[in-house]
Amino acid sequence: MRSRPFIVLFCAVAVASMGISMVSPILPVYAEELGATGIWTGLTFSIFAVSQTIISPFAGTWSDRYGRKPFIILGLLFYLVAALGYLSADTFLQVLVFRAISGCGTSLIFSVARAYIGDLVPSGHEGRWFGVFAVADIVGFGIGPIFSGALRDIFGFDAVFVGMALLMGSSAAIVTILLPRHVEMDRVARAIQPAWSFTEALRDRLTLSLTILMCVSSMTFGAVFSFLSVRLEHLGVTGIAVGIAFASESFASAAAQPVMGPLADRRDRRAIVIGGLLGSALVLAALGAAGSYVLIVVLMVAMGVAQAATMVGVAAMQVVAGRRAGMGTVIGLGSAGNGIGIIFGSVVGGALVQWFGLGAPFYLGAATMVLGAILVVWLLRGVPTTEAGLPRDADGLADVAEAASL
């Protein structure tokens, strides 16, 4: 983990996450000021997931074939364009367009960076490595809302977008100058087998299960993060207070991930994921009824711990599946599943808000977490989730055929 590629990607992802999360909490509010309501407010947050869903699988497969570094840089540049676009937006429809462009950046930055790390992870240490690497994303995502809240309170919305542009530009420079290209190109060239096609990968029970799980678990992200900032605004809190509420979840998750990582290498990864999903369900149900700012912050801390368990377990299993199907392919499919869940959660959450009020998306999120836990039990029954347990010869095709019959 002390290698140059790991450190460079850790720093780059932290800076990029900070820039991304600077605008995530304020975009629904910004869109409302430009005339968006209900479902349109949800789309303002989640439209990036549409382009993410379309681009992610191809980005992963392309990076398996042509190398990781160029796609990471391109993703950062997409986000730079989006940040500058927000500055010139006059309508919420224009905000939607640039949010969609940022989704292209998400597809390239995070799934490809994780695939790069997956190339480097020693067998049996998947949870440990990704538990540490996830801290970059989570800490950056946690600092961003606080920074943007302060900028917005003092200088207004435009300052937030300028800050995002500067962060994306600096992250692109870090990767361009410092990230080795030959390391990951050699790793891809030495791969035991080429990346599978999407159809072949989704016939593998482990890959299929993880893709569906990413979809289900991300419904919470779409439903909650689309409307939590709006709900906090209705409570009359300041921009910095909104940022602190979002950051509390991120910081708690960042603290928990390095602990959960080694645990995922020693214990049953399915049990860890199920525990995280059920914990998230309880927290979301409580958030639906919470009417106090302090209580919301406490619940967001609990959410961070529960989400850490889920995501460390999923990341570790993705690396195991990626060693057979192609690292970028597996993680790209998971990112696409993540995008589908965000779209569904945001759009359905927006409709529920119009019909039942701001608490409804949180109850939707709780229900989907319970569904996710049930799916893990069913889809991963009998499927090895560690490198040692996976077949590597013709016998492995039996699992693939069984998955196709589900």
Q: What is the mean pLDDT of residues 95-123?
A: 85
Which pLDDT band, with edges at 50, 70 and 90, does 223 fall under? Answer: low
Q: What is the mean pLDDT of residues 104-131?
A: 84
The pLDDT, as a whole number, for residue 77 is: 93
Task: Pull the structure tokens for residue 240.
Answer: 């910095």
Residue 190: pLDDT over 50: no
CB 353 within 8 A of CB 32: no
Higher-scoring residue by pLDDT: 124, 400: 124
What DSSP line would sit under 86-137, residue for residue? Answer: HHH--SHHHHHHHHHHHHHHHHHHHHHHHHHHHHHPPTT-HHHHHHHHHHHH
Task: Pull the structure tokens for residue 96.
Answer: 């939607």
Q: Between the CA atoms of 42, 134, 212 and 40, what dihedral angle is there, to the nearest 10 degrees?
A: 10
Q: Can you tell me the distance from the alpha carbon of 352 to that of 29, in angstroms, rounded to the nearest whole number?
A: 18
Which pLDDT band, with edges at 50, 70 and 90, does 73 fall under? Answer: very high
Please write down the long-range contacts of 157-164, taking CB distance under 8 Å and 24 or more positions apart. Answer: 157/26, 157/30, 158/87, 160/22, 160/23, 160/26, 161/23, 161/83, 161/84, 161/86, 161/87, 162/83, 162/87, 163/19, 163/22, 164/19, 164/20, 164/22, 164/23, 164/79, 164/83, 164/86
Measuring CA to CA, which residue among 144, 67, 54 is closest to residue 104? 54
The pLDDT, as a whole number, for residue 405 is: 34
Q: Can you tell me the distance from the alpha carbon of 94 to that of 80, in angstroms, rounded to the nearest whole number?
A: 16
Give the contacts of 143 (CB within 8 A, at least 6 positions apart): 18, 21, 247, 250
The residue assigned the tokens 């990626």 is: 322
Q: Can you tell me the distance from the alpha carbon of 325 to that of 278, in angstroms, rounded to the nearest whole number?
A: 29
The pLDDT, as a whole number, for residue 278 is: 92
Q: What is the mean pLDDT of residues 276-282?
A: 91
CA-based torsion, 20, 287, 276, 317: positive or negative: negative
Which pLDDT band, with edges at 50, 70 and 90, does 219 fall under? Answer: confident
Q: Can you tell me the distance from the alpha carbon of 56 to that of 97, in angstroms, rounded to the nearest whole number?
A: 18
Q: What is the mean pLDDT of residues 287-301?
A: 86
Residue 358: pLDDT over 80: no
The residue assigned the tokens 């597996």 is: 330
Q: What is the mean pLDDT of residues 313-325?
A: 85
Q: What are phi and psi of 354, to 5 degrees?
A: -65, -35
Residue 375: pLDDT over 80: yes
Residue 235: pLDDT over 50: yes
DSSP alpha helices (H): ranges in 24-68? 27-33, 39-66
Q: Can you tell me the distance from the alpha carbon of 61 to that of 327, in angstroms, rounded to the nearest whole number?
A: 8
Q: What is the mean pLDDT of residues 296-300?
A: 89
Residue 239: pLDDT over 80: no
The pLDDT, as a whole number, for residue 371 is: 86
The pLDDT, as a whole number, for residue 372 is: 84
Q: Can you tell me the distance from the alpha carbon of 6 to that of 1, in angstroms, rounded to the nearest whole number?
A: 6
Q: What is the mean pLDDT of residues 192-200?
A: 66
Residue 397: pLDDT over 60: no
Q: What is the mean pLDDT of residues 228-235?
A: 74
Q: What is the mean pLDDT of residues 283-309?
A: 87
The pLDDT, as a whole number, for residue 74 is: 93
Q: What is the mean pLDDT of residues 313-335?
A: 85
Q: What is the mean pLDDT of residues 295-317?
A: 88
The pLDDT, as a whole number, for residue 282 is: 92
Which pLDDT band, with edges at 50, 70 and 90, does 188 fall under? Answer: very low
Give the contacts of 343 (CB within 8 A, at least 6 positions apart): 46, 49, 50, 53, 222
Q: What is the mean pLDDT of residues 39-63?
A: 77
Which of 165-174, 221-230, 385-394 is the most confident on average? Answer: 165-174
The pLDDT, as a whole number, for residue 222 is: 60
Average pLDDT value over all residues in the chain: 79
Structural domains in the chain plus CATH codes: 4-404 (1.20.1250.20)
